[in-house]
Chains A and B, each alone.
Chain A
Amino acid sequence: MYATPKLSVIVPFYNEEDSIGPMHDAIVAAVEALNIPFEMVFVDDGSRDATASRGEALAQQDPRVRFVKFRRNYGQTAAMAAGIEYATGEILVTMDGDLQNDPKDIEHFLSKMAEGYDIVVGWRHKRQDKLVSRKIPSKIANWLIGRVTGVHITDNGCSLKAFRASLIKRIPLYSEMHRFIPAMASIAGPRIAEIKVRHHARQFGQSKYGLSRTYKVLLDLLVIKTVTSFTSRPLLWFSLLCLPLTFIGTVALIAGLITAMPGNGGMSLPLTGTGIIFLSSALIMMASGTLGELIYRFGDVRPEDFARLTMKSVISRNIPQ
């Protein structure tokens, strides 16, 4: 008899009627061999084809399947978040529902997790996708994500990842953050490892991505940088915006005042005005930073929660009673 599942395999599906059955079989075949209690959380992201009915049928046949059906399409991040929410295992493995990831790799993820890592990220080192539209943009994006967030991962786009449940369940996931889960989780300072995984070419259905995501990715990256840096250096961004404004303002104001000296032909309104505009904007920016601090103080997210999540050890002297 199984105890509570140790491992939850989370798979979001969106219009993958041909893949959901084979996916289930592949997971069962790969994980049953490992001989640990596990469950599968399949999330249907409001598919318009037979994905939902086939998923329901799977859940009826196999009690290890928990099938979560969305009311409509909410996107991959929401599907991942729901999967994480409904999973009961200690280790959560996420993967794509399009059969491009191979469940046989789960074994390696588990042994890596056993070494004490909190997050293990897959790396599709022989990626089976188009070069120009998929691989090159993703290379640039990965480099950028590494630069900005400080979490250097070769392949952020690979869905095959493993998480310690206690950690990932506490990380807010929303909007389109699924590409940045490790970066988002970096708020808590987890130990992250990377392993190479197999990657298959698409068998069924259509790919759902394109190039148009660049703008969104850039903005999301900035958001992550902001919210994560706020946990340690609250006013960082607003002060950074403040500095150039103050500098330009001061220079323009001084130049304006010089023109106001006797013999310089009267004060220049545009120059003085520019100075005043920039300086007052710097002031507003400072006020915004303070407002941000206020928001953080009254929100549900507290930096110390994240610190506790991954705390390494507590060493204290025993105080005799």
Chain B
Amino acid sequence: MTFANTHSLVSVIVPVGERQTPIADLYAEYKSGLRLLGPPYELIFVLDGLQPTAERALLSLVEQGEPVTIVSLSRYFGEATALMIGFDHAAGDVIVTLPAYLQVEGCEIGKLVAALDAADIAVGYRHPRADSWFQTLRHRVFHGLLHFVTRLNFRDLGCNVRALKRKVLEEVHLYGDQQRFLPLLAERQGFRVSQIPVRQSKADRRDEMYRPRSYTRGLLDIFNVFFLIRFTKKPLRFFGMIGVATFALGLLELIYLIFVRIYFHHPLADRPALLLGSLMIVLGVQMFALGLLGELIIFTHAGGSKDYKVDRVIQYASPVPALTESGNAPDKPLEDNAPTSLHPYPAS
């Protein structure tokens, strides 16, 4: 028995954003793949912002009796938010996320769902890839940078074709554009991630010009993830690092200026370098103060957010099932069943 077969329903979430293939084509392609799955499926289309054309096409699918749910958002919230909204309406234990444009061939979906037997989240990567040299370069730079920052190896985070177990989305909270980093954040939560090669769709092989804005956003995303996974719980490590560095530089410069003033009588008041030095010192102190503020936030909320995820708690003599597989530790773990109250242990 595979994981997918033992679970009755596969929920497919499709966030529909700016980039999209006509819904009818998209649906036909995905349906051809989903039909091969075995277990029944439902499709949840989340319209991110007002999209009358897509909505009309989807409504006609509903009228034809297709298992489609339509969720419309009143404005653009970002793909990750759309995904989370879609998840609210998903009933299945297996969640499949698909992009609103053809990235991979529909028949590849089954491979990802099957991979959930040995993983919590299966991520597709397009292989072999047919892209222009420019796209390949962009892809390489992005993933190289990401690897440098996170030390994790992901081959294709741009591929939004993923299958995951329900518990992953229950624990990993995404917003904005973070859905691209879902595998990475899931891995940080201790979920098992596997990467599966999938065949690229022919429609995906086009050369798309990106606006400069999307590059800036990409860089900011990487920075965001970097901060998120390395320093969320220790802001002072991050701000302190920058603060100490700028402070030290500023201090060195001021010491030099004072040295020159004393021994070579170069008047301090004439030197614009004085401004730079003091700016850096002040900046360093302020960075440090920001880090301390961050630490205060963490400290005052440490009770609510735990650092760790418990896989399971094993105790032989507890009346509840000994194996509790829970994402987060219950607030009052096993309190009513003291270890030996039901099964007295012989006091030797």
Contact = CB atoms under 8 A, between A and B. Distances in A.
A78 B307 CA distance: 6
B300 A296 contact: yes
Nearest to A248: B278
A239 B275 CA distance: 24
Interface in B324-348: 329, 333-335, 338-341, 343-345, 347-348
Given A63-B339, A172-B299, A174-B302, A241 B308 contact: no
Nearest to A69: B311
A39 interface: yes
A175 B272 CA distance: 42
Contacts of A301: 299-300, 302-303
Interface in B274-291: 274-275, 278-279, 282, 285-286, 288-290
A4 B314 contact: no
A86 B313 contact: yes
A288 B289 contact: yes
A163 interface: no
A304 interface: no
Contacts of B236: 219, 222-223
Interface string A83-124: 001101000000000000000000000000000000000000
Interface in A47-81: 55-56, 59-72, 74-75, 77-79, 81
Contacts of A284: 286, 289
Given A86-B333, A274-B278, A301-B299, A59 B270 contact: no
Contacts of B270: 268, 270
A46 B312 CA distance: 12
Contacts of B307: 74-75, 77-78, 81, 174-175
A226 interface: yes
A245 B340 contact: no
Nearest to A244: B285
B11 to A, nearest CB: 24
B262 interface: no
A138 interface: no
B338 A88 contact: yes
A56, A62, A81, A223: which has the most chain B beta carbons within 10 Å? A223
B278 A277 contact: yes
A55 to B, nearest CB: 8
A78 B275 contact: no
Interface in A7-26: none
Given A59-B314, A285-B285, A226 B295 contact: yes
B233 A281 contact: no
A137 interface: no
A314 interface: no
B269 interface: yes
A1 B312 CA distance: 27
B132 interface: no
Given A172-B299, A223-B236, A270 B271 contact: yes
Nearest to B289: A288
Contact of B329 (A56, A59, A82): A82
Given A71-B310, A81-B308, A172-B303, A288 B269 contact: no
A56 B339 contact: no
Contacts of A1: 340-341, 344
B329 A86 contact: yes
A75 B303 CA distance: 18
A19 B37 CA distance: 47
B124 interface: no
Contacts of B286: 281, 284-285, 288
A300 B300 contact: yes
A143 interface: no
A180 interface: no
B315 A65 contact: yes
B285 A5 contact: no
A285 B281 CA distance: 13
Contacts of B273: 270
B343 A245 contact: no
A271 B274 contact: yes
Contact of A71 (B274, B297, B311): B311
A175 B311 contact: no
Contacts of B306: 81
B283 to A, nearest CB: 8
B218 interface: no
B339 A70 contact: no
B301 A271 contact: no
Contacts of B289: 238, 241, 284-285, 288
Contact of A299 (B272, B300, B308): B300
Contacts of B21: none
Given A64-B345, A71-B311, A227 B275 contact: no
A270 B253 CA distance: 14
B71 interface: no
Contacts of B298: 174-175
A273 B275 contact: yes
Contacts of B301: 299-300
For the complex of A and B, the 7 pairs showing the least CB-CB separation, nearest first, are: A299-B300, A71-B190, A172-B302, A63-B317, A268-B269, A72-B190, A78-B308
Given A270-B270, A277-B282, A288-B293, 10 more contacts: A5-B339, A37-B340, A46-B190, A66-B315, A82-B310, A86-B334, A245-B285, A281-B286, A284-B286, A299-B300
11 contacts: A2-B347, A60-B316, A62-B316, A79-B308, A81-B307, A85-B329, A176-B234, A270-B270, A288-B293, A295-B296, A298-B300
